[in-house]
């Protein structure tokens, strides 16, 4: 953990497509991490632009994009973006965050 990441450690993000409203706010905030697919729903994608469509698929949050990913989770109208610590799977941003 570093001071730069607020002591959170490595984070990953995933989207619950069952709740996704397809507004695309996440893709506007962090197009490097989120993308809308032809089905109108948002998905996470790898650094190599591979769209991950498996249920619960997660990608690491690049540290330079932490603020954008956190804002996506906070502003998502579907409350479907989950950001959690890799070490213990505790959600730090999103609908299940404490």
Domain ranges of the chain: 11-93
Q: Which string of DSSP letters, residue by residue, matches 66-79? A: HHHHHHHHHH-TT-
**For residues 89 and 66, what is the distance between their CA atoms, to the nearest angstrom?**
17
Tell me phi and psi for residue 51, to 5 degrees.
Answer: -75, 125
Find residue 82's DSSP bridge partners.
Answer: 14
Q: Given the structure tokens 């996440």, which residue do they identify? A: 26
Give the pLDDT confidence score for residue 9 in this predicted structure: 76
Give the pLDDT confidence score for residue 7 in this predicted structure: 57
Give the pLDDT confidence score for residue 8 in this predicted structure: 65
Q: Given the structure tokens 């001071």, which residue do they identify? A: 3
Pick out the chain residues at pLDDT < 50.
Answer: 1-5
Give the pLDDT confidence score for residue 4 in this predicted structure: 42
Give the pLDDT confidence score for residue 3 in this predicted structure: 35
Structural fold of domain 11-93: Alpha-Beta Plaits (3.30.70)
Number of neighbours of residue 88 by Cβ within 10 angstroms? 7
């Amino acid at each position: 953990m570093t001071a730069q990441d607020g002591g959170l450690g490595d984070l990953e993000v995933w989207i619950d497509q069952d709740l996704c409203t397809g507004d695309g706010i996440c893709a506007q905030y962090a197009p490097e991490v989120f993308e809308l697919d032809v089905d109108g729903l948002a998905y996470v994608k790898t650094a190599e632009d591979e769209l991950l469509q498996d249920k619960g698929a997660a990608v690491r949050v690049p540290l330079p994009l932490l603020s954008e990913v956190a804002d996506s989770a906070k502003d998502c109208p579907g409350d479907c973006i989950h950001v959690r610590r890799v070490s213990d799977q505790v959600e730090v941003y999103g609908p299940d965050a404490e």
